[in-house]
Amino acid sequence: MFPLSAVACLVLVASTTATDVLQCKGRSDSGLSESVTLTPCKRAPCRLKKGTNQHIKIDFTPDEPIAEVKNHVTAEVFNTELPFVGVDGNSICGKLFTPDGEAASCPLKAGTKYVYKDSFPILSLYPNIAVRVRWSLKAKNKDIVCFEVPAKIVS
């Protein structure tokens, strides 16, 4: 499960400028790269250095009311998609903010802007490996936001 955890860390990177991320297959979210910030990732593949913390920030506006939102995070390792243990399936309701930085929570209102912020450690036990991280924010079985990021775990 090392590669999975490493991939999750990749997704958790947040920064001061937006990150060039890829659309998930079958989606066409406008402004996606401006909405996702991974730090310290500046360009793909994101280099996830062991022993550091990575951060993620996602700006989004739901188009309908939502009771609860959960992360769905997987890592593609050697052509196998694995859930990112410790992140996949977790509620994001306690990690939401307004664009002004005030705490927000679920339920979410339609047409209201929200900012999701989180961080994760890149553990030294993760193998040095290339992965493709798929990150989505889901309400029930519907993606609110979905993107992919190529990453590489490095020493």
pLDDT reported for residue 17:
56
The per-residue DSSP string of 2-60 comes to HHHHHHHHHHT---SS----EEPTT---TTHHHHEEEES--SSSEEEETTSEEEEEEEE
Q: Are 151 and 132 in contact (CB under 8 A)?
A: yes
pLDDT reported for residue 124:
82
pLDDT reported for residue 2:
37
pLDDT reported for residue 8:
38
All structural domains of the chain with their residue ranges: 2-154
Q: State the pTM of this model.
A: 0.81
Q: Tens of pLDDT along the chain (155 residues)? A: 433 333 333 333 333 456 778 888 877 667 777 889 988 887 788 998 888 888 999 999 999 999 999 999 888 888 888 887 667 889 999 999 999 999 999 999 999 999 999 987 777 877 899 988 899 999 988 999 999 999 998 99
Q: Are 73 and 133 in contact (CB under 8 A)?
A: yes
* 3.30.70.360, 3.40.50.300, 3.20.140.10, 2.60.40.770: CATH of 2-154: 2.60.40.770
* pLDDT tens column, 70-81: 999 888 888 888
